[in-house]
């Protein structure tokens, strides 16, 4: 007997009377009057920064204004001026040393500052290895809560909800931004 058969037969042997899946109808999840406003509040609470891109403003100029010292920008977005492209690097390690990574988020969540970033690039390391991360979000894609978010997303193989910069409190419970991944996250809302 394979281990798979062994485990499944043990489960059936000890198995219990099946219990029904609950109905989701009793749940009325939080909604906000203004999702954009709430998203901005929550995104800041989780340590992120937020910039609204006004019509007619160049996104590259905006990124430069937030990161004037950045020398290496990595992005596979065609409209972003970048020195490195996660689609064309031969190996993820080449992205080490990136100052600013720029990616596009598909769904933003007002209740917790999460933005869904699916892997649309060859090397997703850009999301984590960059010192700072810029996530571009369309204001039409901001939803109230995770229930709405999960009903909208699709995962192409890898995808991540990112809520602010990498953080830790593992030393004496003191909150520090920039544990292993980006130390700074800027949400650009277009």
Partner 1 sequence: MATRHSKAARLFQKNREKAEWQDNTLWGVRVKRDRMAKSLDEWETLRDMASAIKKHTVTNLDVYLEQFAENAEKNGIIVHWAKDAEEFNETVLDILRSHDVRKLVKSKSMLTEECEMNPYLEKNGIKVVETDLGERIIQLLDQKPSHIVMPAIHLTQEEVGALFEKELGSEKGNSDPAYLTYCARKSLRDEFLTADAGLTGANFGVAQTGEIVICTNEGNADMSTSVPKLHIAAMGIEKVIPDYRSLAVFHRLLARSATGQPSTTFTSHFRGPRPGGEMHIILVDNGRSRMLGDDLHWETLKCIRCGACMNTCPVYRRSGGYSYTYFIPGPVGVNLGMLRDGKKYHDNVSACSLCCSCDNVCPAKVNLSEQIYAWRQQLRDFGKEPMSKKVMSGGMKFIFDRPGLYNAAIGCSPLINAAASAAGYAGLGLWGKGRDLPEFAKESFHTMWKKGKVKNDK
Q: Which of the residues 51 through 90 are near partner 1 (CB under 8 A)?
A: none
Question: What is 56-110 written as a DSSP string?
Answer: T--HHHHHHHH-TT---EEE--TTS--SB-TTT-SSGGGGTT-SEEEEE-SEEET
Minimal distance in Å, beta carbon 180 to partner 1? Answer: 5
**CB half-sphere exposure, 47, CA atoms < 13 A:** 18
Residues in 144-163 that interact with partner 1 by CB under 8 A: 145-147, 149-151, 153, 155-163
Tell which one of 52, 61, 83, 169 touches partner 1 (CB under 8 A).
169
For residue 29, give Cα distances in angstroms to 20, 32, 41, 148: 22, 10, 19, 9
- Identify which of 103, 51, 50 has the alpha carbon closest to the alpha carbon of residue 74: 103
137 binds partner 1 (CB under 8 A): no
96 binds partner 1 (CB under 8 A): yes
Minimal distance in Å, beta carbon 53 to partner 1? Answer: 24
168 binds partner 1 (CB under 8 A): yes
Minimal distance in Å, beta carbon 69 to partner 1? Answer: 18
37 binds partner 1 (CB under 8 A): no
140 binds partner 1 (CB under 8 A): no
The residue (of 28 and 78) whose beta carbon lies closer to partner 1 is 28
Strands 142-143 and 107-109: parallel
């Amino acid at each position: 007997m394979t281990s798979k058969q062994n485990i499944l037969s043990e489960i059936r042997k000890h198995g219990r009377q099946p219990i029904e899946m609950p109905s989701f109808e009793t749940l009325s999840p939080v909604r906000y009057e203004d999702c954009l406003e709430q998203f901005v509040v929550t995104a800041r609470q989780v340590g992120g920064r937020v910039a609204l891109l006004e019509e007619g403003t160049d996104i590259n100029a905006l990124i430069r204004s937030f990161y004037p010292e950045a020398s290496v920008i990595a992005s596979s977005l065609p409209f972003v001026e970048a020195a490195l492209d996660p689609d064309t690097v031969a190996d993820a390690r080449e992205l080490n040393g990136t100052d600013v990574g720029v990616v596009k988020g598909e769904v933003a969540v007002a209740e917790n500052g999460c933005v869904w970033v699916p892997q649309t690039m060859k090397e997703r390391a850009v999301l984590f290895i960059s010192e700072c991360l810029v996530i571009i979000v369309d204001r039409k894609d901001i939803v109230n809560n995770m229930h709405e978010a999960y009903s909208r997303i699709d995962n192409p193989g890898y995808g991540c909800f990112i809520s602010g910069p990498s953080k830790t409190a593992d030393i004496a419970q003191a909150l520090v931004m920039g544990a292993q991944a980006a130390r700074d996250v800027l949400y650009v809302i277009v």
